[in-house]
Amino acid sequence: MLKNRVVALSMSPVDDMFLSGSMDKTLRLWDLRSPNCQGLMHLTSRPVAAFDPEGLIFAAGVNSESVKLYDLRSFDKVLNLFLFHFGHIHNSSARLNTGPICVVPTQHRENV
């Protein structure tokens, strides 16, 4: 059960699963068919998240300086890491011509 405000939400493009990130610095994997979360990560900062178009990989932005890619089948095992040395990461996503969804780093603003 969530106790803090949800600040990120990403629906799976292929099934009834979704990711939620909250102010308590957790990222949770949910299935609409179950009342309990299916996966839980404790992170160092409030997360942002996005699924890829096939629903197999998701990206999690954490600590305003990195984006990690995860395989949904092994929820907490990092596939790849991207580091940023500027600004803050917010829950902004864009669909590229090739199809993938990416988490885009933007400058920090209080009222995003």
Q: What is the pLDDT of residues 41-51, one digit of tens each?
A: 888 888 889 99
The overall longest dimension of the chain from CA atoms, in Å, is: 39
Q: Residue 90: its pLDDT value, please?
A: 47
Lowest mean pLDDT among 15-29, 76-90, 93-107: 93-107
Q: Residue 89: its pLDDT value, please?
A: 46
Q: Which residue has the tokens 């603003």?
A: 109
Residue 112 lies in a domain: no
Residue 111 lies in a domain: no
Structure tokens at 62: 């954490």
Residue 75 lies in a domain: yes
Structure tokens at 54: 């096939």
Under the banding of pLDDT at 50, 70 and 90, the label for residue 80 is confident
Residue 85 has pLDDT above 60, yes or no: no
Residue 89 lies in a domain: yes
Residue 92 has pLDDT above 60, yes or no: no
Structural domain span for residue 21? 6-106
Going by the DSSP 8-state scheme, the letter that residue 16 receives in this structure is S
Amino acid present at 4: N
Average pLDDT, the chain: 76
Q: What are phi and psi of 72, to 5 degrees?
A: -60, -30
Residue 107's CB is within 10 A of a number of other CB atoms, namely 9
Residue 81 lies in a domain: yes
For the chain, the domain total comes to 1
Structure tokens at 68: 């990690």
Supply the CATH number for residue 12's domain.
Answer: 2.40.128
Residue 1 lies in a domain: no
